[in-house]
Amino acid sequence: MAEDQKKRVLLVEDAGLVRMYYREALQGAGFDVDEALNGIEALEKLLTAPVDLLIVDVNMPQMDGLTFIRTLRRQTPAIASIPVLITSTESSPQDIHAARIAGANFYLTKPVGQEQLVLHARILSGCVA
């Protein structure tokens, strides 16, 4: 990706090692990456800095991923329309259905490989691979 065409991603994940792993993969693929530890922090960041994609964990303190997505989808159109990629250890059909009902665009079960993460980030953010 050219520097002026970098897509911005906000990682909403409480686990530091997972954030580091995702950040390295995404930055290596040319994305600009910011981080939030939970849904509350993510909502605050979205009010000040627009992003092209959200990568969200489900199980987080203070505001979990599904509550965050439901809240996100009730915001202004510019914020509510941001694509959301869920990454979670929860993998039952009910978990995936709940995420889609909340407003997630796609769901990946952890562990997520770097190539898989980058591919879905490119697709959901509108990058030409």
Q: What's the CA gap between 43 and 95, in Å, rounded?
A: 23
**Considering the chain, what percentage of its residues have pLDDT values greater than 90?**
92
Domain of 27 in residue numbering reads as 3-125
Q: What's the CA gap between 64 and 77, in Å, rounded?
A: 22
User: Which CA distances in Å does 1 have to 6, 25, 66?
Assistant: 6, 14, 31
pLDDT string in tens for the chain (129-residue length): 555 579 999 999 999 999 999 999 999 999 999 999 999 999 999 999 999 999 999 999 999 999 999 999 999 999 999 999 999 999 999 999 999 999 999 999 999 999 999 999 999 999 865
**Token output for 57:** 């964990």
Query: What is the pLDDT, as a whole number, of residue 127?
Result: 87
CATH number at residue 64: 3.40.50.2300
Query: What is the pLDDT, as a whole number, of residue 1?
Result: 53
How many domains is the chain partitioned into structurally?
1
What residues does 84 pair with on adjacent strands? 54
Query: What is the pLDDT, as a whole number, of residue 2?
Result: 53
From 112, 34, 36, select the one nearest 68 (Cα to Cα).
36
